[in-house]
Every structure is written in C-alpha cells, then in structure tokens.
Structure 1
C-alpha cells in the first residue's frame, strides 16, 4: 500500500451546519472516501487514481448562496496519514456505554471499549451515521445472532456486535484499504467471530439474523433486494448513510420487499432506520 497517493481537499465552511454534513454526503457520492471534520470545515480524501479534474462539478453545495465554502487541495503521501489522524481523532463515548478510541488514548471506564486505528477508513464513530448505528447495536439483542456489517469501514460496528455476543459475523467492504484496516482492528480488539471480506453486495454468500448497512442512499436502494434475500425470517435490518428527506424513498423500497418499519434515529439531519423482516 506504500505506493498509494491521496489527494487531500481542505474545505473552509461558513456557517458550519448543516453545510458540513451536506458537503460530506455530496463528496461521498463524488467518490471521496474519508473525511475529518475540522474547526472551520472538513478535510476530504480521495485516492489519486480515482481523482479527475472536474470531480467537484456535481457537488451542488459549492454553488449554494446559503454557505460560503472555499478550498485548497494537495497530494498527500500515505506515510503522512497516521500523523493526520493523531492530530484530528478524538475519542468518543456513545450513550455512556461504548467508547471508541485510538491506541494512543487512555482506556475508558465503559461497558464496551473499542480501539480503532482509523487510517483512511470511514467509521470512527464520530460521524452521525456510525454514532446512530452504535446506538442501535447497544439497544438491541445481538447475542448468538449471525450478523453482516455491510460497508464496514474500520470494522467498528462488527467489533461492537461481537462484544454484544453476536456470532458469526461477516464484515464486507469493497475498498481495499477498509478491508485491510478492518482486519487490523479486528485483531487489535481480539475478536474471534468476525470474517472480513473484500467486495460489494455480490460478495454476500451467507444468510443473517441481522444486517447492518451504513453506506449511502443510492447503494442501499440498489442492493436492497440482495439484503432482503440474505436476511433470515424475523431478522433485523439497520440502515444509515442518508438524510431525513431520503426516508420516503428508502421506505418505499423496503416496503416493496415486505420489510416492516420499526424505529428511526436522527442526529443532525442524518437518520438511521430499523426494519424487521
């Protein structure tokens, strides 16, 4: 991986909210794979081989009259990445029960303590969608349930699922860096029941009691039939990676597949939904 070069975009945003959330979502659709929120905006990263000169043309918020957004960008050698995360990655505690921290942070006195070396992967718990997925896992019974973490990023949700008693667990991500990072984090947290797989929805071979999919609206809708076909009877499906305004489209697709809406979580206009099969 040492030869991979990333392009880093440094966005200054005013006012910050909800512009930062919208910007991250639109950059995600454009192909950016990792984000760090900063005091005055957000830093976004994309592999140089995925970058092209007009990549920001479809990022509509940059043309909005409601927000002032400026940016600079540069090439970043991957060897600089750990230092970048150590500068920006602060530990979090979700609902007083689950801490997500880096190896260089002190241990928390919480029921669940997860150590993540995020590197270039999305899913440290800081983003609203990951935070809500952690809340779902904390609130629901995972003991002896088979689980799929689709779009696993750092593997944090799969790791928490195992800590909650789930087994076996598959964690899938199409991005090679996320795949490698999840392998590292699974080992770092001494997990024994997680199989990490590199691929997209076509890599799903098993059936599960619980499927967690924190991706984005378009991918979720595209792959819904696959998720449903791999969900056991009376299984639970947790979805996130989209906004409040996207709920009608998501619900329509889910109801088409006879899924029953159960619960909604909301955080800064991002939402996470629970459905039952």
Structure 2
C-alpha cells in the first residue's frame, strides 16, 4: 500500500484539536514536532532520558505529521481536513501558519515501524505507562502499570495535560470514591482512577472511536468498575461524583462549569486539564463564577491543570 504524509504547520495551542481531526480522518497516529521541545529544560524526575536532534524540529511553531493511505478519495479527504482545521478559529484557537502540505512517502510497514519510538515511561510517583508490546517489570512495590496501545489513535498518555491529570488523580482519589471522566479518549484517566481504588468510574466521550478505544484499553488492563458511554459532556451523568476530571480544550471546559458544579458532590473536586497557559485565567474565572474554589494550580511546560473544590 502507498502512503501520503500530511504535514500541518500550526501552533502548540492547536495540537490536540488538530490531532483529533487527523485521527478522525483515518490517521492511526500523529507525529508532533514542536520547535520549543529542543530548547526546553527538563527535570529528570522519574528517570526519563532525552536525546533530541535539532534537525527533527521546525524553526517555529509545531508541525503535525500523519500518514494516510493513497486512494481515490485522498484529495477530498485532505480538503475536509483543511476545512475542519480552519473551523477551529471559531473557537478562538490560534492556528499560526496553518500550512498544510502533502507528499508521497516510500512504501513500508507503517503499522509497526513507529513502535521503536515508544517505551515504558514513569510519569508520576506510582504510574508507569507501558506500550502493549513492551515487557516491563515494576521497580517499586506500589507501582501501577497502565498498558496502552498508541496505535489506538489517542496517544501514549505522556502528554503534559495527561501527566498532570494522572498526578492529580493519584493525589486526590481515595478508596470507594466515584469518578466521572469527561472526554475519556484512551480511557487512561478512568483506568487510573479505578486502579487507585475508585469504586465506580463513569467515562464518556462524544467520539465513538474514543469510546471503542477506551473499552479496549480497559479490557487490556483487566479493570472492572468502569462504564464507558458515548455522550456529550455531562449529559449521560445520572449520579453526582466525588471527582469529575476533564482533560479537554479550555474553550470546552468553560462551556460546562455550571453543569459540573451541579454534578460534583459537596466537598468534591473538579480536575480540569488541557488548558494552554494563555487560557488559565479565563478558566479560573469560569470555575469561580460557577461556585468552585481553586485548590491547586499545576503547570508543566506551557500547560495548566486546575484542581477546584465545591464547598461543603
């Protein structure tokens, strides 16, 4: 099979939204080349190793690359991708250069070649993300391993917004709590909540592909106590939760803070991530307007996670 490489030059703010568009268009994975990655100072907190090559990064902005099979529908598919990306401007998402290019690549087994770049990563005190094809033995007695297949279209669980969400859940989830995961994606936050002792997790996503991916990952990790449904934000939630977590776009978070306040139990928490730093104050204001009290602000690179509490 022949493949075409679709390249999108954009901003860091638009990465998650455009990645989702590319996945929905049929890409089984997305390569992210961020101009800032090469110069960022990283703390080797959990034993990560960084060996980066300047030639792998653009001079500015972010380049997303996806691989699509060459077919008679390729031109129409690319035009639909461009249109969907342009529509993101309606949500005040900065697109930067917004340059889309396409080129044919040498035929090879793209379904497995990318696996060489993914290895187990310890992302918090207890959680380690392990690709399904890797053999990994825990090094700590209380270490929790989450197996993920990055080929399932929702990444490896190591994006800063996911990492901070997992760290927040690790800190706040207690035994017998109930958790609602809004925009579950791969299901990694739902899986983590169950591993930490939550007695029930309600995971939901508007995208049926995400629902399927989450169910498969939950089964892969042999986790019970999680139900995954297709739903828009909180419309499928029937019972209040001790913790509601949402790792989605800041613009979307601000549309349902009032609804979240109704769903979170008195004294419970609303963990919001996926927030680019420039949107931090807007989201904080939306949360406080809804009645929440900001309890913790977490930052990693240019991303923010907010932990807010509903007063008793």
Equivalent of 1:182, from 205, 214, 217? 214
Distance in structure 1 (CA, Å) of the matches to 2:110 and 2:198: 32
Equivalent of 1:165, from 179, 197, 203? 197
Shift of the alpha carbon at 1:55?
4.0
Structure 1 residue ranges (4+ consecutive) displaced by more than 6 angstroms after TM superposition: none
Contact 2:186 2:213 in 1 (8 A): yes
Contact 1:81 1:120 in 2 (8 A): no
Q: Does 1:22 align with 2:22?
A: no
TM-score w.r.t. structure 2 length?
0.72
TM-score w.r.t. structure 1 length?
0.80
Segments of structure 2 that go 5 or more residues without pairing to the other structure are 24-28, 34-55, 58-62, 69-73
Q: Does 1:253 align with 2:248?
A: no
Q: Does 1:51 align with 2:80?
A: yes
Q: SS at 1:107's partner residue?
A: coil
Shift of the alpha carbon at 1:245?
1.6
Shift of the alpha carbon at 1:241?
0.8
Distance in structure 2 (CA, Å) of the matches to 1:163 and 1:155: 12
Q: SS at 2:185's partner residue?
A: coil
Q: Does 1:72 align with 2:102?
A: yes
Shift of the alpha carbon at 1:91?
2.6
Distance in structure 2 (CA, Å) of the matches to 1:214 and 1:50: 28
Q: SS at 2:151's partner residue?
A: coil
- Structure 1 stretch displaced more, 116-125 or 235-244: 116-125
Shift of the alpha carbon at 1:122?
2.5
- The answer for the alignment partner of 1:118 in structure 2 is 150
Cα-to-partner distance string for 1:247-269 (whole Å, 9 max, x where unaligned): 11111111111100011111111
Superposition RMSD in Å:
3.1
- The answer for the alignment partner of 1:89 in structure 2 is 118
Segments of structure 1 that go 5 or more residues without pairing to the other structure are 1-5, 14-18, 64-68
For this pair of structures, how many residues does the alignment match?
Answer: 256
